[in-house]
Amino acid sequence: MTEITDYKKARQITIEVKQFVRQLIKPGMKLLEIAEKIEAKMIELGAKPAFPVNLGINEIAAHYTPAFNDDKIAQGLLKVDFGIRFKENIITDTAFTLDLTKEKKFTKLIEASEKALENADRLMKRGTKLNEIGKTIQETITSYGFSPIRNLCGHQIKDHNLHAGLTIPNYDNGNEKTLDEGTYAVEPFATTGTGIVQDARPSGIFKFESRKGVRDPIARRIMDFIEQEYQTLPFCERWIIKKFGERAIFSLKQLEQAGVISQFHTLVEKSSAPVSQAENTYMIHGNSVMVLSD
């Protein structure tokens, strides 16, 4: 049984990691160092990363985590998206955006997604229609003169399942289903561009699909490890290399080809316009709501 006190502890850890991230990141730092320090902080505080830390610069909206040999540096408009996994089945998911430009040219774009989240916040209770949340997000972002990303959305979170059940739209999509008890992430994205993201390069972020007959003994060991350690939660090549060495790169390719794992693609704004993001996780329990990330 998951207890309310466990949710409170998960909330406390998430907030502490967020404070750590805000004072950690400086322009020019390597993304790899940032991701590893954030993930290490979660472990230090008694949790695990629920998924690889995502660090999307400018038009990269989602699904970018540094590779094990990544040399990109923090600059421009940087989205930090992370979550913890506490006591195996409590998962949080949260994001914010930093303006690392000297001239602070993204202040309004960041404010738009933050304000959209703040306005959606009030609707996070039982009985709210999903399209009401989408409408509020859309109206807030367009009032700034920007567009919400329509093909990215918030989501329900269940045990070992980051994206499960209901999706929470970033625009009025006409879905009149209502919120009930459960855990939900709301994540408005604002852009100066078209408001659509598309698949770009493979991200090095994977998830387990199903066991298959795998001949190579190393690939088989990696399959066992992934299934046990992450279940269906996302993981990355960088983590597997840390555990199994660089030979794991080839094994992951074999597992992907066999359909044991699937790979996410980096999601990029279609017109290459900058994207900001804000995200919180809410736990609705009876008539009360706990924000697990703020």
Active site residues: 81, 93, 155, 163, 187, 279
Gap between the Cα atoms of 125 and 287, Å rounded: 7
Which of 95/255 has CB closer to Mn ion?
95
Taking the complex as a whole, how short is the minimal distance between the CB of residue 292 and Mn ion, in angstroms? Answer: 12
Query: Is the Cβ of residue 99 or residue 187 nearer to Mn ion in the bound state?
Result: 187
Q: How far is the CB of 277 from Mn ion (least distance, A)?
A: 8
List binders of Mn ion among 225-284 (CB under 5 A). Answer: 279
Nearer to Mn ion, 34 or 95 (CB): 95
* 38 interacts with Mn ion by CB under 5 A: no
Binding status of residue 39 toward Mn ion by CB under 5 A: no
Q: Which residue has the tokens 């697990």?
A: 292
CA 28/CA 179 separation, integer angstroms: 42
Rounded Cα distance, 261 and 231, in Å: 11
Site string for Mn ion, 64-83 (x = CB under 5 A): -----------------x--
DSSP per-residue codes, 87-156 = TTTEE--EEEEEE--TT-TTHHHHHHHHHHHHHHHTT-STT-BHHHHHHHHHHHHHHTT-EE-TT--EEE
Q: Which two structure tokens, joined as six digits, stand for 106? A: 């993204």
Given the rule CB under 5 A, which of 164-172, 179-187, 217-225, 240-248 is the region that contacts Mn ion? 179-187
> What amino acid occupies position 191?
T
For residue 288, list its beta bridge partners.
285
Nearer Cβ to Mn ion, position 260 or 284? 284
Pick 56 or 193: Cβ nearer Mn ion: 56
93 binds Mn ion (CB under 5 A): yes
Q: Report, in Å, the least distance between residue 279 CB and Mn ion.
A: 5
Are the C-beta atoms of 206 and 254 separated by less than 8 Å? Answer: no
Q: What Rg do the C-alpha atoms of the chain give, in angstroms?
A: 19
CB of 62 closer than 8 Å to CB of 78: no
Comparing CB distances to Mn ion, the nearer of 206 and 241 is 206
Q: What contacts 32, CB < 8 A, 6 or more positions away? A: 66, 67, 68, 70, 71, 72
Binder among 10, 133, 185, 222 for Mn ion (CB under 5 A): 185
Q: How far is the CB of 191 from Mn ion (least distance, A)?
A: 17
Count of residues engaged in binding Mn ion, rule: CB under 5 A = 6
To Mn ion, the closest distance from the beta carbon of 188 in angstroms equals 11
* CA angle in degrees (0–180, nearest 5) for 117-29-246: 100
- Chain positions contacting Mn ion, by CB under 5 A: 81, 93, 95, 185, 187, 279
